[in-house]
Amino acid sequence: MTGIRGRSVSAMLIGFALAAAACSAGAEPVVGAQDDAGEGSPTTEAATTSLTQAPTTEAPPTAPTTGAITTLPTSSSIEGQAETTVPPPCPNGANLSDQPASSIDADVDGDGLADVVVTEKRNDVWFVAVTFGRGGSADLGLFDADPFANVQVLGGIDFSADGSAEVALSIGGGAYTQSVAFVRARGCQLLRLAFEDSSPAAFLSGASIANVVGVVCVVAGPGPARVEQYEFVLIDGAADPLLYESVYRPYTIEGDFFVRQDGEGTVLSAEEVAAVGLFDCGGLGL
Ligand SMILES: [Ca+2]
């Protein structure tokens, strides 16, 4: 039951956080610094204006106010963009091939420019690489990826709702499962999100008759960003409906790590198991 409830809450959280992300994405580059600048500078202008215009009784209430809002924030917002949304290009750190195995667009460094993220295999080792919208590139070896799998970049999901997307990748798996990993940009580098023991993190999604494993992503909202790993094991194949033992393992995202939280086990019917998404991660397809 925890799993079902967890999922519906997850869906709500995703919706909420995406809405919050949309709001903050629009507001973020302009609000903080410009408001401060806008409050400081207009006061001076208003003061000088009111001094010069003091004899006139009609103008002061409207003219200084309009001038303060329209002119000053505009100039300071241009300065702000120069600092925060147009960082200098990165070095060309990736050895990019002409034929990536997969490619998606996502803003991984949060500068407002789309970046191109690809997967490619070199000498039987898979790499994820990014070409930044501002220029330059970086790559990262996926050494735990199956060299015989078709490693794909699934897309970006902004877990922390900070404008920089984390990138989900399918890195291979077993006969019935796919393993999903996450990377993010840090400055001009790519890094792999890891478990607490620093091993590269991967989550399983897939199903056989006896086993079902699912991944649910939850972006930051009222609660912390997390990835929930569900596992269902068939315990009564004679029952109608089939009965599965469920294990729910949530991992919160803290810094660059997935930190295991307490989960619960319970018994679910096949219908309840089916209601939990095998891969429910910000609309990304597996
Ligand atoms: Ca970008």
Query: Could you read off the pLDDT of 59-113 as tens digits, one per residue?
Result: 444 444 333 333 333 334 444 444 455 789 999 999 888 899 999 999 999 999 9
CA of 117 to the centre of ligand 1 (A): 10
Query: Could you read off the pLDDT of 10-63 as tens digits, one per residue?
Result: 333 333 333 333 333 333 333 333 444 334 344 444 333 343 444 444 444 444
CA of 147 to the centre of ligand 1 (A): 29
Strand, helix or coil for residue 257: strand
| Bridge partners of residue 138, in order along the sequence | 130
CA of 280 to the centre of ligand 1 (A): 25
CA 282 vs. chain centroid, Å, equals 9
The pLDDT > 70 percentage for the chain reads: 70
The enclosing H or E element of 252 equals strand 243-254
Query: Could you read off the pLDDT of 228-240 as tens digits, one per residue?
Result: 999 999 999 999 9
User: Given the structure tokens 């000498």, which residue do they identify?
Assistant: 123
Query: Could you read off the pLDDT of 214-270 as tens digits, one per residue?
Result: 999 999 999 999 999 999 999 999 999 999 999 999 999 999 999 999 998 899 998
Largest Cα span, the chain = 93
CA of 185 to the centre of ligand 1 (A): 9
Check residue 85 and give its pLDDT.
Answer: 57
Q: Does residue 202 have a pLDDT over 80?
A: yes
Nearest Cα to Cα of residue 163 among 281, 25, 283, 27: 25
CA distance 112 to 151: 27
CA of 90 to the centre of ligand 1 (A): 11
Q: What is the pTM of this model?
A: 0.70
CA of 79 to the centre of ligand 1 (A): 19
The mean pLDDT value for 134-152 works out to 96
CA of 160 to the centre of ligand 1 (A): 16
Q: Does residue 158 have a pLDDT over 60?
A: yes
CA of 115 to the centre of ligand 1 (A): 5
CA of 165 to the centre of ligand 1 (A): 9
Count Cβ atoms below 10 Å from residue 203 Cβ, excluding itself.
Answer: 25
CA of 136 to the centre of ligand 1 (A): 11
CA of 131 to the centre of ligand 1 (A): 9
CA of 16 to the centre of ligand 1 (A): 23
CA of 114 to the centre of ligand 1 (A): 5
CA of 69 to the centre of ligand 1 (A): 30
CA of 182 to the centre of ligand 1 (A): 17
Q: Does residue 136 have a pLDDT over 80?
A: yes
CA of 111 to the centre of ligand 1 (A): 5
CA of 29 to the centre of ligand 1 (A): 14
